Chains A and B, each alone.
Chain A
Amino acid sequence: MFAIKWSFFDKDNLPKFFENHFMEMLMVYVFSLLLMRNTTTSPVVTLVSMFFLFFYSYFIHRIIHMIPKEYNPHILFHHNDNKNDYWFNWIIETIINVMFFVTLYLINVFLNLRIPNILILYYGMIYVSVHVVNYSIFHFGDNHRNHHLDPIQKCNFGPDTFDHFFNTNCNSNYENFIHMLPNILCAFLIIEYIK
């Protein structure tokens, strides 16, 4: 299921990762360390939790595409080209995206995975806002559009780094993550304010 593409690390691909993804991902990790600064959670736990959250967002999107089309709310509402129902579908997809992280929160509570809840909220805000605002409203990034254009929707699940790492990208194009900067900054400032 998760075949790692080792050519991700070769000298043609790794510079593309550093050009397009590295700074934004490092920023997410450093902001997560800042959010957990005055707590007892160690930086290593914070970094591992953030990596798990990145992986979870990729994994859950792959899982949801395995559900048959007839019963799959993500495909029925989000992969729906009917322009008349755009905003209704958008609200349903937002709720589905939020539920991804509510589910993780409940799993975290019941199985005691020790992922800090602040980090679930922080990463959830970034993921949901990027998906429903940047991709769905402003249409930044061709890679997510390719996910919708693909007839069987088996590529570009996002985040793009994991698609390249697990060889599930539609093409060799690396998405520039610069459009995520406002989302990352706003999520950090909001969580810093409310925590």
Chain B
Amino acid sequence: MTALLSSNINVLTFLLVVMILTKICYWMNGCCFLTTYEKNDYFSTTPQLFSKIITNVELNETDMELLLINVGILILLNKIFWLILLSYYRLPFLQKIIQPCSQ
């Protein structure tokens, strides 16, 4: 959620590093360590909620986690990519949109 709201490149870079570390842990352990803190008898975990939003296909827990991690990283990469391009070229028609956030 912070990644969607913030337009500060330093914040986004920090979140990207955290997400990459999460993916490295997922690759080493075969599951996401963050999901273990969410598991309970009543509420769904974030990967379950997210995977049900985007597909009706029944996925196993680890695939749901991988889906969420990959989408998170892609959002951050795309956002940083476009913010850097926009901040360098200073496209006039976009200044109105990005300036209030950067101030």
Contacts and interface: CB of A to CB of B under 8 A. Distances in A.
A27 B73 CA distance: 9
A70 to B, nearest CB: 41
- Chain A interface extent, by class: 10 to 19
Contacts of A178: 23, 27
A23 B73 contact: yes
A179 B84 CA distance: 27
A103 interface: no
A33 interface: yes
Interface string A164-195: 00000000000000110110110001000000
Contacts, number: 44
Contacts of B13: 34
A37 B84 contact: yes
A30 B73 CA distance: 11
Contacts of B34: none
B9 A34 contact: yes
A30 B77 contact: yes
A152 interface: no
Contacts of A30: 16, 77, 80-81, 84
B6 interface: no
A179 B26 CA distance: 11
Contact of A27 (B24, B77, B84): B77
Nearest to A27: B77
Given A178-B27, A179-B27, A181-B20, 19 more contacts: A23-B70, A23-B73, A23-B77, A26-B81, A27-B20, A27-B73, A30-B80, A30-B81, A30-B84, A33-B80, A34-B9, A34-B13, A34-B84, A37-B84, A43-B85, A181-B24, A185-B17, A185-B21, A189-B17
Listed from nearest, the 5 A-B pairs whose CB atoms lie closest are: A33-B84, A30-B77, A185-B20, A178-B27, A181-B24
